[in-house]
């Protein structure tokens, strides 16, 4: 891991893990609301929720269509599918991108957008970065190169030719923290800070890897939501903190992939299963 000044490493990632205290209950630890999955992509909901729970947080509140919710519950019965409050919301992984309108899906997105909590916007929710309801809260976007190109109106080749510039420009234009996925993950803030994570494995280039990253990041944001000031004055500090959480998520994700791969193929549920050991390793110093 190297940032612009080479200052963000595994010990910084460890500092992004909030260890529960005796005084905590599940709400104090942080609830992540997840609006993800659709009849078209139900598996993305399962992967995002699984990754969030493996990262450690008080609760996941999942809002989605019946089939996706049933699959999430079958995999993770600890998920709560009733409406209610959350300390952060992840929106977008596996939302239907067919262009058909679904009033129920739109309602679920509105609930999350209007909650006034920090947002992780992924996949189908990336265009919501321009929605006035999202502009008033700290938010982090997690596009891959194709998504960043669509979002900013440039072609994909332009993004891949100079990804650092593309992600920097997007962060400024969208006034959001932007994490650009790829073999190297780059995170930019609107104030020009750049963090770079390059320690995953090409075995990670497999469907659902991004959904897991979104879940890991969502959990880190939810467990740190109370550190975010959510005010105009503290905007720069919130962006810095979100960028650090995003870099930590990329480290946890990449290292979990390396463990799951061990030099061979991996599935995303294997990656998720490796996340707790990575986090334990960050906390006890054995993950270097
Ligand atoms: N388990 C789940 O539920 C999963 C759900 N997922 C969810 O799916 C959603 C969409 O995410 P995404 O990244 O795939 O979408 P996107 O950027 O629009 O890319 C489409 C581009 O790919 C191209 N393309 C397609 N096939 C190709 C081929 N064989 N060979 C080469 N190119 C090919 C295609 O090109 P075209 O066919 O149009 O020429 C187009 O340009 C998102 O919500 C995500 O969360 C995923 O995370 C996976 C696991
Ligand atoms: N060649 C690679 N080497 C390392 N990591 C990769 C590579 N290709 C993709 N990744 C990582 O895998 C994930 C892919 O995310 P994404 O493209 O959104 O996949 P999906 O939409 O299938 O979930 C990202 O975290 C990205 O950084």
Q: Find the domain containing 107 and state its range.
A: 2-139+198-229+240-280
Q: Ligand 2 within 6 A of 203 CB?
A: no
Query: What's the chain's average pLDDT?
Result: 94
Cα–Cα distance between 251 and 13 in angstroms, integer?
A: 7
Does the annotation place 184 within a ligand binding site?
yes
Q: Per the domain annotation, does 134 fall within a domain?
A: yes
Q: Which ligand is nearest to the CA of 258?
A: 2
The share of the chain scoring above pLDDT 90, in percent, equals: 90
Rg, Å, the chain Cα set? 17
Q: Per the domain annotation, does 173 fall within a domain?
A: no
What stretch of H or E contains 184? none
Of 206, 50, 37, the closest CA to residue 125 belongs to 37
Q: Per the domain annotation, does 216 fall within a domain?
A: yes
The interface predicted TM-score (ipTM) is 0.94
Q: Per the domain annotation, does 157 fall within a domain?
A: no
Predicted confidence at residue 221, as pLDDT, reads 97
Q: Per the domain annotation, does 175 fall within a domain?
A: no
Q: Ligand 1 within 6 A of 143 CB?
A: no
pLDDT tens-digit series, residues 100-131: 999 999 999 999 999 999 999 999 999 999 99
Q: Which ligand is nearest to the CA of 146?
A: 1
User: How many angstroms separate the alpha carbon of residue 180 from the centre of ligand 2?
Assistant: 10
Does the annotation place 210 within a ligand binding site?
yes
Q: Per the domain annotation, does 203 fall within a domain?
A: yes
pLDDT tens-digit series, residues 33-88: 999 999 999 999 999 999 999 999 999 999 999 999 999 999 999 999 999 999 99
Q: Per the domain annotation, does 171 fall within a domain?
A: no
Q: Ligand 2 within 6 A of 104 CB?
A: no
Question: Residue 204: how many CA atoms within 13 Å on its side-chain side?
Answer: 28
Question: Residue 123: how many CA atoms within 13 Å on its side-chain side?
Answer: 26
Q: Ligand 2 within 6 A of 171 CB?
A: no
Does the annotation place 94 within a ligand binding site?
yes
Predicted confidence at residue 2, as pLDDT, reads 36
Predicted confidence at residue 108, as pLDDT, reads 98
Predicted confidence at residue 7, as pLDDT, reads 59
Q: Per the domain annotation, does 152 fall within a domain?
A: no
Q: How many domains does the chain have?
A: 1
Domain at 267, CATH number: 3.40.1190.20
For residue 2, the SS3 value is strand
């Amino acid at each position: 891991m190297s940032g612009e000044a080479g200052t963000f490493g595994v010990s910084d990632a460890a500092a992004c893990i909030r260890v529960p205290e005796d005084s905590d209950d599940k709400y104090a630890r942080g609830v992540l609301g997840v609006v993800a999955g659709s009849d078209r992509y139900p598996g993305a909901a399962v992967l995002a929720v699984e990754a969030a729970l493996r990262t450690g947080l008080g609760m996941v509140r999942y809002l989605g269509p019946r089939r996706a919710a049933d699959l999430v519950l079958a995999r993770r019965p600890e998920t709560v599918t009733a409406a209610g409050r959350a300390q952060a919301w992840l929106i977008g992984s596996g939302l239907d991108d067919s262009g058909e309108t679904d009033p129920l899906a739109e309602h679920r997105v509105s609930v999350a957008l209007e909650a006034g909590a920090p947002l992780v916007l992924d996949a189908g929710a990336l265009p919501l970065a321009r929605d006035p309801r999202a502009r008033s809260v700290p938010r982090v976007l997690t596009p891959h190169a194709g998504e960043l190109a669509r979002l900013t109106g440039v072609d994909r080749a332009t993004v891949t030719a100079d990804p650092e510039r593309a992600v920097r420009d997007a962060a400024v234009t969208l006034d959001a923290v932007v994490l650009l996925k790829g073999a190297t993950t780059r995170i930019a803030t609107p104030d020009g800070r750049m963090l770079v994570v390059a320690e995953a494995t090409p075995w990670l280039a497999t469907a659902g890897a991004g959904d897991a990253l979104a879940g890991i990041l969502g959990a880190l944001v939810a467990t740190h939501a109370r550190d975010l000031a959510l005010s105009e004055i503290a905007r720069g500090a919130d962006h810095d903190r979100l960028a650090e959480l995003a870099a930590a998520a990329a480290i946890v994700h990449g290292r979990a992939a390396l463990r799951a791969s061990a030099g061979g193929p991996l599935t995303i549920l294997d990656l998720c299963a490796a996340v707790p050991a990575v986090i334990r390793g960050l906390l006890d110093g054995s993950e270097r």
